[in-house]
């Protein structure tokens, strides 16, 4: 205790330095702890690790702009693949054509467009081909080199019944593919050389898995026929098959489980021949909300009513703040940890301050003061025991008359007054021996 508390200005300066060191240590520990907890809870998806697991993506499938203001590597495999893909669709590519962060190519037709977006120097995450000069009926080989795609849009760029199977097979390569948009335009819906046809092939289990990232499949305004594959039954967040008039057969039951479509948030089957089998569906698929046309009954009976539960609204309610509930809770926990550390430091400082005040205000000397008080009380008790108080005693002293001065040699001198011994006052406890001693002393003085 003595080494902690010190007196004088040197002790106060040492205490101030110690407090500053404690504050600095608290700040460092809080910062390191907060960053560590934040990073661990977010599994590397925070701003401190925007590269994530691979390429431009983090573990949740979010894409990051890693390239920034940098330039694309012209010798990268994906840059060369983009230029080759654009050339295959009939866009003008020359020796001077280069890749940019946003590569845009156009054709004489006003609605023809080719675009590719790079997220780093050698990775393409978005490809859009719209009404190219040359539509393709086979899977372009250059497309298979784009293994980092998150979005693939081919609008009236592929046609025929043989391209879909190899395309769906290739889509298992991009790990973070989220949107597949093969929709055509209404104007070209009857142009066989601009729309897809045949049956829709089965999607692989990796694409429709709940742990996968593919969320939107848009196939409207084409010429697909036959039954709808069950691998698209309540497996995508968004599914559009409208204006495929040759799609027939009853709506398949959900691929995973249950007898109702509840996982798909939005869907459209307008202008198709898909129907609801009698007795199997009590309500329409929940994804048919708003002004979207309802599916008829397969037996020409009354169609089931619309599902009153909107899965999109339910998902927004249960997963508030844009689906980032996990991150919000983690942030709150980090803030609570910070507040607790600050409160702990404040409590520690108040405790130290009280100890200092007790020390310098006499807390240490109070112990010796208490000892002195106890010693004084003991001494007083001893005095009261050893010495008895004197009794109250008021002797009966006789009154004397004023005596006149006898004549003497000088006027200033007064003769001694001699009283007979019989008139001297006696006190309790006086002995005769004492009186005789007084008389003898007086006789000797007179002689």
Reported confidence tier of residue 398, pLDDT bands at 50, 70, 90: low
Mean pLDDT of 288-308: 90
pLDDT(281) > 60: yes
Q: Does residue 177 carry a pLDDT above 60?
A: yes
φ/ψ (deg, to 5) at 129 = -125, 120
pLDDT (0 to 100) of residue 3 = 47
Higher-confidence position of 60 and 91: 91
- Rounded CA separation 166/168 (Å): 6
Query: What residues are paired with 106 via a beta bridge?
Result: 113
Contact 233, 200 (CB under 8 A): no
Whole-number Å distance between alpha carbons of 252 and 274:
9
CA distances to 347, 399, 417, 428 from 422, rounded to whole Å, are 90, 15, 15, 16
Q: How far apart are the first and last CA of the chain?
A: 83
Q: Which of 60-64, 150-154, 269-273 has the lowest mean pLDDT?
A: 60-64
Query: Taking Cα atoms as reference points, which of 299, 273, 269 lies closest to residue 284?
Result: 269
What is each CA distance from 58 to 35, 101, 211, in whole angstroms?
A: 18, 20, 14
What's the pLDDT score for residue 364? 47
Torsion angle of alpha carbons 123, 128, 133, 134, nearest 10°?
70
Give the span between the Cα atoms of 125 and 167, in whole angstroms. 17
Pair 116, 82: CB distance under 8 Å? yes
**Among 230, 180, 221, which residue's Cα sits nearest to residue 201?**
230
From the list 120, 105, 34, the residue with the least C-alpha distance to 333 is 34
Q: Edge to edge, what strands does the sheet with 246-248 contain?
A: 197-198, 223-227, 246-248
């Amino acid at each position: 205790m003595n080494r902690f508390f010190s007196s004088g200005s040197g002790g106060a300066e040492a205490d101030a330095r110690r407090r500053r060191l404690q504050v600095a240590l608290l700040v460092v520990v809080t910062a390191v702890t907060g960053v560590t907890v934040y990073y661990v809870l977010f599994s590397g998806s925070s701003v401190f690790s925007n590269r994530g697991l691979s390429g431009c993506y983090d573990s949740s499938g979010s894409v990051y702009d890693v390239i920034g203001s940098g330039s694309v590597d012209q010798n990268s495999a994906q840059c060369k693949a983009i230029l080759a893909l654009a050339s295959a669709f009939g866009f003008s590519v020359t020796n001077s054509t280069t890749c940019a962060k946003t590569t845009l190519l156009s054709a004489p037709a006003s609605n023809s467009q080719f675009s590719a977006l790079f997220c780093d120097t050698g990775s393409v995450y978005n490809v859009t081909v719209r009404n190219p000069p040359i539509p393709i009926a086979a899977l372009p080989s250059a497309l298979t080199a784009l293994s980092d795609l998150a979005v693939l849009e081919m609008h009236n760029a592929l046609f025929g019944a043989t391209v879909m199977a190899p395309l769906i097979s290739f889509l298992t390569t991009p790990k973070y593919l989220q949107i597949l948009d093969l929709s055509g335009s209404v104007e070209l819906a009857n142009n066989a050389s601009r729309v897809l046809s045949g049956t829709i092939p089965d999607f692989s289990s990796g694409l429709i898995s709940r742990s996968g990232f593919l969320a939107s499949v848009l196939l409207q305004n084409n010429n697909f026929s036959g039954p709808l594959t069950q691998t698209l039954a309540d497996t995508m967040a968004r599914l559009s098959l409208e204006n495929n008039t040759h799609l027939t057969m009853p709506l398949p039951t959900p691929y995973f489980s249950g007898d109702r479509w509840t996982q798909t948030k939005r869907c459209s089957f307008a202008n198709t021949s898909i129907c609801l089998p009698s007795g199997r569906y009590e309500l329409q698929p929940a994804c048919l909300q708003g002004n979207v046309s309802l599916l008829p009954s397969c037996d020409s009976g009354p169609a089931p009513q619309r599902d009153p539960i909107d899965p999109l609204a339910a998902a927004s309610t249960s997963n508030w703040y844009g689906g980032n509930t996990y991150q919000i809770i983690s942030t709150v926990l980090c803030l609570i940890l910070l507040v607790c550390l600050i409160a702990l430091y404040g409590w520690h400082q108040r405790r130290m301050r009280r100890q200092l005040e007790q020390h310098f205000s006499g807390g240490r000397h109070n112990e010796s003061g208490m000892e002195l008080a106890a010693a004084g009380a003991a001494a007083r008790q001893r005095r009261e025991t050893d010495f008895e108080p004197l009794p109250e005693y008021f002797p009966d002293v006789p009154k004397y008359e004023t005596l006149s001065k006898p004549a003497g040699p000088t006027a200033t001198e007064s003769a001694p007054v001699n009283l007979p011994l019989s008139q001297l006052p006696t006190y309790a406890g006086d002995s005769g021996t004492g009186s005789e001693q007084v008389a003898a002393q007086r006789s000797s003085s007179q002689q």
